[in-house]
Each structure stands twice: as structure tokens, then as C-alpha cells.
Amino acid sequence: MDNVWKNAPPRLNEPAPAFAARTTHGPRSLEDYRGKWLILFSHPADFTPVCTSEFVAFARAAGRFRALGCELLGLSIDSNFSHLAWMRNIREKFGVEVPFPVIEDQSMRIAFDYGMIQAGASDTSTVRATFFIDPESKIRAMVYYPMTNGRSVEEFLRLLQAMQASDRHGVATPEGWQPGDKVVVPPPSNVAEADARAKAGYDYVDWYYARTELPSAPAKRKAKTKRGAR
């Protein structure tokens, strides 16, 4: 376990540790996901009940993540043969096809680089660590769960959409924000801005707390074509 502490753990808004690995879908590297969002998540072990419930949920939501420009990538220190057998078992017993790759990390190199093995939690198993990696390969969020408790896939969808809204519009999102809710306007940086805040047309509570609606996406206009035009 001494190897766990040789590398500094990853930090928010810094480049994600590079990797190249064997997976259930063939070789994968971090570079393969550049230009997309990536959720890299570890699980303690194959053929375990809590991990199975998570994989079923991730698999069922994979299309929703992909619609948001986000790919999923699992990891544990089990062998690729174990992963393949487990994926087939999930398909047979739960009727769910797992559409995303799962990394074989028997050397624990990726797990160490990402801080997925926690001192005191286990000598060998990865905890339920989840990393949101943006299109520029920077870590934007990290979520750790204990081995005994499954993650909320719906919360990960919500968090992904919140971060995308912040990037797109330069705003923050309040507790429990859902798409369509009002967002938090960045606080004023000087007295003049603070004084003008109440007259700016926001949902105003006080000079430091104001909310607003996000602009609606422009409606798609159907192209009009003349009869006979191609």
C-alpha cells in the first residue's frame, strides 16, 4: 500500500492523469476521449451486488450521458476475462447490455494515479471513486462513495448538466439545481455593481444573492423549399 502515496492525488481543474489500458472494448486511452466529457468510475470488484446495481443503472442511462456529449468508462483491478464474464452475466440475469468499456487494471497503476485505492478502506480493491473529466482532459469533479453504498446515477446526470450550464453561460447553480431552474448570478465585484444589482431585472434577494433564468435555446427553423427543389 505504500505505492498509494507516491503520486499526489488528482486535483480539480488540473489535467487528468494520462492512461492507456486494455478494456472490454479493446484498447482505450485518455486521449481517445479528448473533445468529449468522460466519467471515469471505479468499482471494488466484479460479481458483487452493489457494483452490479450501479452497472445496471449506468448502462440504462448511457444514452442520456451520450446525448450530453459524455462517455462512460468503468475500472477495477479485476482481469479483462472477469469483466467480460460479468458483463455477460448482467446481460443474462438483468437483461441489460453494458455499452461502455471497463478497464482491466491488475497492475493498479491507474487506480494509484487517480487515488482510487484508499488507505484503511481495502488493501487491494478500488473504492467507488468517480471523476468527471472535461473535453480538455481536466478533472472538473470528484465523488467518492464508501464500498458499502451505491452511487446515484441521476445525481451524476444532474451534476454534469450543471457544470455544462456553468461553462456555457458563466453562472453558478444553487443546491439541487435541475435543468430549467433559475441559476445564480456571479456576485458583484465592486460597490457600483452591488448597488445596480437590485435594478438589473434579476430575481433579487440581496446584493450578493440574485438568480436569473437561462436563455432558452433558439428554436430550430424548418427550411422552406420550393416545390420541385432538391
Active site residues: 51
Residues 6+ apart with CB under 8 A from 131: 10, 16, 38, 39, 40, 41, 114, 139, 141, 142
Q: Which candidate, 151, 171, 127, 138, places its Cα nearest to that of 36?
A: 138
The Cα 66–Cα 177 span in angstroms is 21
Amino acid at 28: R
Q: Which candidate, 32, 125, 29, 33, places its Cα nearest to that of 77?
A: 125
The Cα 32–Cα 29 span in angstroms is 5
Residues 6+ apart with CB under 8 A from 162: 173, 177
Q: Which candidate, 32, 9, 5, 36, places its Cα nearest to that of 19?
A: 32
The Cα 59–Cα 62 span in angstroms is 5
Residue 95, SS3 per DSSP: coil
The Cα 52–Cα 85 span in angstroms is 13
